[in-house]
Amino acid sequence: MRENHPFGLQTLPFGSFAGPDGRPRVGVAIGDHILDLTAAWPALSGSDDGLFAAGTLDRFLAAGPECWARVRQLLTHWLGEVSERGRVATFLSLASAHTMLLPFEVADYVDFYASEHHAANLGRMFRPGSEPLTPNWKHMPIGYHGRAGTVVVSGTPIVRPRGQRRTADGDIQVGPSTRLDIEAELGFVVGVPSTMGTPVPLSRFDRHVFGVCLLNDWSARDIQAWEYVPLGPFLGKSFATSISPWIVPLAALEHARVAPPPRSPRPVEYLDDTGEAPWGLDIRLEVRLNGTKVSEPPFAEMYWTPAQQLAHMTVNGAGLRTGDLFASGTISGPTPESRGSLIELTWNGEHPLRVESGERTFLADGDEVVITATAPGPYGTTIGLGEVAGTVVASPESKSLDDSAAPAHSTSRR
């Protein structure tokens, strides 16, 4: 393994891959290889607890922080000590030889809206002349409940969604979205459940949350714009959400923890992290569209931290379940090159992007979007988060995206 590989000993992310018989197996990424933990755990630890026997992370996630730390310590020993090499080698194989699977059963899925730059950009575009942020924005992390059943693993093709939109003339059309977008985000994976009626305070964030993945919240802007008042995003988002196959433990991100940006006004008590260990994270994302880098969103710029998001999600007494996934919201920084969605990068389609395959405002059929990220690790090392990739495929009834095509069904509101 070359030195300072993003999946070096400092990272040790967990995932699930298809074994030779097609059944899932838990893997740990090490360099360009995968350690088959479903096979290695009983053999190397001597344990018969079946922790990884099912091939997914669900049991391990639920097992809690002491177990997570013990397994990480053992993995560091097995993969780091020369004396263990012979025992371990038999469980290693090249990652490129395997198909990655969704690593855990997604319980509930929540998406936040925690970047001030993103929220302000969208406010300026859609509510020109009024305050870019809504009155509640700086008092709570705004979020909505998404669709857990359509969270898919990286590489899953994204079928262009169909739905209703309203044209500039006020006509209602039904058809494939003509404004398909991405949102570059991080997802946080809950391991340990919480009891209904018992909020999770900021200080207990890492007792419940196991780790982090990359997330692309595919968004049909035309469907979203027409449907979202008054109850928020629905079908414009729920057709697909992609996550990276590797879940990076919070334990690997100790050196990436940074103070979040200053908050004003001071948040209410359950969100006030003054004096708490910081949960801002210096994770740097890159977004590529058909191979061309189009953005470098900085997670450290996020106004609300994941600890505040978890505290807010549970302040009303809602319980957590193993496999709950909550996403940060689009990560946009202060500069035009650090915006995490096409609607911002092209300013609502006014300024097309130039990529190798041509000009783009929103996504065309066949377009591939790849989001990657890194963070600082110990001793100058790099923590890699891998990638979340997805390619857009045509909506079944419309093989090409054509704004001028007659819609399948149209009514006039005029």
Q: Which residues are catalytic?
A: 118
Q: Least CB distance from residue 220 to Mn ion, whole Å?
A: 12
Q: How far is the CB of 180 from Mn ion (least distance, A)?
A: 14
Facing residues of 289 across strands? 292, 369
For 24-46, b/e burial (b = at least 16 CB within 10 A) is bbbbbbbbebbbbbbbbbbebee
User: Measuring CA to CA, which residue among 10, 32, 385 is closest to residue 213?
Assistant: 385
Please identify, among the stretches 75-83, 99-107, 214-222, 262-270, the one whose residues bind Mn ion according to the rule CB under 5 A. Answer: 214-222
Under the criterion CB under 5 A, does residue 367 sit at the interface with Mn ion? no
Which residue's C-beta sits nearest to Mn ion?
217
Among candidate residues 42, 69, 64, the one with its CA nearest the CA of residue 53 = 42
CA angle 364, 365, 367 (to 5 degrees): 70
Q: Least CB distance from residue 176 to Mn ion, whole Å?
A: 21
In this complex, which beta carbon is closest to Mn ion, that of residue 72 or of residue 124?
124
Taking CB under 5 A as the criterion, which residues in 231-260 touch Mn ion?
A: none
Site map (CB under 5 A) of Mn ion, residues 159-188, x = contact? ------------------------x-----
For the bound state, the minimum distance from the C-beta of residue 259 to Mn ion, rounded and expressed in Å, comes to: 24
- Closer CB to Mn ion, 113 or 246, in the complex: 113
Per rule CB under 5 A, count of chain residues that contact Mn ion: 3
Q: Which is nearer to Mn ion, 111 or 206 (CB)?
A: 111
The stretch among 50-58, 109-117, 223-231, 278-286 that binds Mn ion (CB under 5 A) is: 109-117
116 vs 183, beta carbon nearer Mn ion: 183
Task: Choose, by CB under 5 A, the member of 36, 217, 227, 324 that binds Mn ion.
Answer: 217
Q: Binding Mn ion by CB under 5 A: which of 36, 108, 111, 273?
A: 111
- Please report the beta strands in 97-202, taking only residues with DSSP state E, as ranges in sequence order: 100-101, 109-112, 143-145, 151-153, 158-159, 162-166, 171-176, 180-181, 184-190
Minimal distance in Å, beta carbon 289 to Mn ion?
18
Contact between 245 and 154 under an 8 Å Cβ cutoff? The reply is yes
Return residues touching Mn ion (CB under 5 A). Answer: 111, 183, 217
